């Protein structure tokens, strides 16, 4: 009996590893999410029942596990040291010239310096057994459970002949898009935002509950070999190529050249790409390529002589803060916003920035009239990072949050343990207005004729008190509103009527539930089939759904157990809004094909083209690989188009794609 159980567990592990690679790395899934989840759940239950047979490379580690009591200290056999920082092109030239003075035929490798958290990954007989933070370079902390949730860290090396022992060093980071969404959610929930992606990555990796770390969608770039029990190539670039074959994601934009001018050109090229990269970098690293020369050059007491880190100057601008205004979100959170004189950052004009909450304002002592320093966190989100106190005008007084909601006048409160201040009126006009604007938006119910201005009219007139009121609008009352008329009223009613068939996926997203975006809406619609089944699902059932983590499950439970929300859904059902899954299948012309959409489209949004791909039987992938069938490229298509061309994968336009479907 036990032999058959162990055999089943090994077979499940092998199958899950295969299908996970097909899904995440090759963008070419061969089975449905339902089938994958069923195998995953079966393996997890067997591991719980028979822990003696559980494998350290099981895919179940990817979702996190039990809460740890603390992190154990780990000693690094090879120190995780730091590099000498240089801040000018002249210092780069001086470094290269000094090295070339010693070794005339020297080569340099220049790489992007990822702004994240440095870690060491240890493999024994090809299996990932230990992950530790850098710490002080000599001792770090054991964060193996958390690192197992980082999907591009291989749990097992991709080779039939792994070295007995291998230790690599990498930089764990949070992608800019993940950082932006995480901060948006934290602010909406009244939690303090992270200062930058590096801060967010560090906070995520040091979570005692590895399930939280799993939900943060961290990534890693491996940039160095620390130890290896077998002979390795004699230069850095070839070592990175070897590690890439083992299954690691290695340093991006690595270039070999043999002159200072070449090194500086590469540094400039990386710098020009900085704002468009999907991850944060704070510099470029220049290293001697040859390991033999590195050994000969040696190290000082604290840093190697064979490498330097060039730090790009932070793009920060100063401006005058003219006002601090309060915005009320659809969850009732009062968010202070800075309004300042226009400055240009990362290629765009910026006139305002969120100040997050009162704690942030007090910590930095920000006052109206101050000259403030502004930058873009992760080159995306404008933020006020400091104050020029020497230029503070006389009489500038500390800012205080209002005692009442600036929109409805209701009392505001700050929950204990939370940074956010909230309006206590669930029917606050601002909350209803934001909820309505989201509900009618293009990716939600797509009620085109109800933009922000019309939404404001509907609320100001009292015709709409919650989103369900859209479906019982009276034509005469609608036509009588300022700026409308009978024709506009008919167009609005027609658009509202069409939205009734938008389907469950769009409706779930339109309801504005925390943590639930478009993708999650589609997943939940497919999983539950109708709104009633979703509303009545318990936490365990929700957590078992692919891509729905504990935070999302709790948000769904909170939303659907609120009487007001259940009443609105009941009214939507009574008014004829479709609350069942109606995913359309247009045919199988793209069956078996994996398609990547990139760039700015002309007639459709990328998400709409991806929906079309799925409806015609294809797979809409997020990245280009050898398994990609073709790429649909719009304007300003960047690295994905370039990679497709490099791999010889067909690239077509939006117009050509639509013709293909016809």
Cα distances (angstroms) measured from residue 329 to each of 373, 409, 426, 428, 552 = 26, 15, 11, 10, 19
Crossing angle of helices 563-574 and 550-560, rounded to 10°: 70
List, in order, residues 6 or more apart from 17 with CB less than 8 Å away: 57, 59, 156
What is the 8-class DSSP label of residue 127? E
Angle formed at CA 573 by CA 572 and CA 579, multiple of 5 degrees? 100
Taking CA atoms, 230 is separated from 75, 225, 233, 576, in Å, by 22, 12, 10, 68
The strand pair at 307-311 and 84-86 is best described as parallel
Task: Give the separation between CA 468 and CA 461, rounded to whole angstroms.
Answer: 16
Q: Which of 265, 611, 17, 565 is nearest to 619 (CA)?
A: 611
For 536, which DSSP code? T
What does the block give as tokens for 70? 């603390």
What are the distances in angstroms from CA 273 to CA 89, 283, 309, 408, 625?
A: 17, 12, 18, 45, 22
Query: Is 564 among the residues known to form the active site?
Result: no
Task: Measure the N-to-C terminal CA separation of the chain; round to a whole number of Å.
Answer: 56
Other residues' Cβ atoms within 10 Å of the Cβ of residue 295: 10
Give the span between the Cα atoms of 296 and 602, in whole angstroms.
Answer: 57
The helix or strand, by DSSP H or E, that contains position 37, with its residue range, turns out to be: helix 33-49
Which residues, at least 6 apart from 183, have a Cβ–Cβ distance to it below 8 Å? 193, 194, 200, 381
Q: Out of 44, 113, 176, 237, which one is annotated catalytic?
A: 113
Other beta carbons less than 10 A from residue 553's beta carbon: 20
Give the C-alpha distances (Å, rounded to integers) separating 535 from 4, 200, 331, 395, 541.
39, 32, 19, 54, 11
Q: Which residues are catalytic?
A: 113
């Amino acid at each position: 009996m036990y032999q058959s159980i162990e055999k089943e567990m090994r077979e499940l592990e092998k199958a899950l590893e295969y299908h996970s690679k097909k899904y995440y790395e090759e963008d070419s899934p061969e089975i449905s999410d339902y089938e994958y989840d069923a195998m995953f759940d079966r393996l997890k239950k067997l591991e719980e029942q028979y822990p003696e047979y559980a494998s350290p490379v099981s895919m179940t580690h990817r979702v996190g596990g039990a809460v740890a009591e603390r992190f154990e200290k780990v000693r690094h056999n090879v120190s995780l040291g730091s590099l000498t920082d240089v801040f000018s092109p002249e210092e780069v030239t001086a470094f290269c010239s000094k090295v070339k003075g010693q070794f005339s035929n020297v080569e340099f490798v220049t790489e992007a310096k990822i702004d994240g958290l440095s870690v060491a990954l240890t493999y024994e007989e090809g299996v990932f057994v230990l992950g530790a933070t850098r710490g002080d370079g000599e001792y770090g902390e054991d964060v193996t459970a958390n690192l197992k949730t980082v999907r591009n860290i291989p749990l097992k090396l991709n080779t039939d002949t792994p070295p007995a022992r291998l230790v690599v060093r990498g930089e764990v980071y949070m992608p800019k898009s993940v950082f932006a969404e995480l901060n948006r959610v934290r602010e909406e929930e009244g939690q303090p935002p992270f200062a930058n992606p590096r801060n967010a990555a560090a906070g995520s990796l040091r979570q005692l509950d590895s399930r939280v770390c799993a939900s943060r969608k961290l990534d890693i770039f491996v940039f160095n070999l620390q130890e290896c029990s077998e002979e390795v190539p004699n230069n850095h670039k070839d070592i990175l190529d070897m590690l890439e074959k083992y299954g690691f994601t290695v340093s991006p934009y690595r270039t070999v050249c043999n002159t200072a001018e070449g090194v500086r050109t590469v540094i400039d090229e990386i710098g020009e790409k900085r704002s468009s990269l999907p991850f944060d970098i704070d510099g470029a690293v220049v290293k001697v390529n040859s390991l033999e020369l590195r050994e000969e050059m040696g190290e000082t007491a604290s840093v190697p002589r064979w490498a330097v880190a060039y730090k790009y100057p932070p793009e920060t601008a100063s401006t005058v803060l003219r006002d601090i205004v309060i915005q009320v979100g659809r969850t009732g959170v009062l968010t202070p916003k800075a309004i300042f004189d226009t400055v240009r950052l990362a290629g765009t004009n910026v006139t305002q920035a969120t100040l997050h909450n009162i704690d942030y304002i007090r910590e930095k002592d920000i006052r109206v009239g101050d000259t403030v320093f502004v930058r873009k966190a992760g080159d995306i989100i404008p933020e006020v990072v400091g104050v020029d106190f020497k230029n503070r005008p006389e009489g500038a007084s500390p800012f205080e949050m209002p005692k009442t909601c600036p929109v409805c006048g209701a009392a505001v409160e700050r929950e204990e343990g939370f940074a956010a201040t909230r309006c206590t009126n669930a029917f606050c006009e601002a909350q209803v207005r934001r909820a309505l604007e989201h509900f009618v938006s293009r990716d939600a119910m797509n009620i085109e004729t109800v933009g922000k201005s019309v939404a404001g009219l509907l609320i100001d007139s009292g015709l709409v008190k919650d989103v369900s009121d859209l479906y019982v609008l009276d034509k005469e009352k609608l036509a009588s509103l300022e700026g409308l008329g009978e024709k506009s009223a008919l167009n609005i009613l027609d658009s509202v009527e069409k939205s009734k068939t938008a389907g469950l996926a769009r409706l779930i997203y339109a309801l504005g539930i925390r943590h639930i975006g478009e993708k999650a809406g589609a997943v939940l619609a497919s999983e539950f089939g109708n709104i009633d089944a979703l509303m009545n699902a318990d936490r365990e059932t929700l957590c078992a759904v692919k891509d729905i983590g504990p935070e999302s499950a709790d948000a769904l439970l909170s939303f659907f157990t609120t009487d007001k929300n259940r009443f609105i859904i009941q009214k939507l059902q009574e008014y004829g809004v479709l609350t069942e899954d109606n995913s359309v299948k247009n045919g199988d012309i793209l069956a078996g094909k994996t398609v990547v959409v990139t760039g700015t489209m002309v007639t459709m949004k990328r998400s709409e083209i991806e929906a079309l791909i799925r409806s015609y039987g294809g797979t809409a992938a997020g990245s280009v690989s050898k398994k990609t069938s073709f790429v649909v490229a719009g304007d300003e298509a960047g690295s994905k188009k370039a990679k497709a061309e490099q791999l010889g994968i067909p690239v077509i336009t939006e117009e050509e794609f639509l013709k293909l479907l016809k």
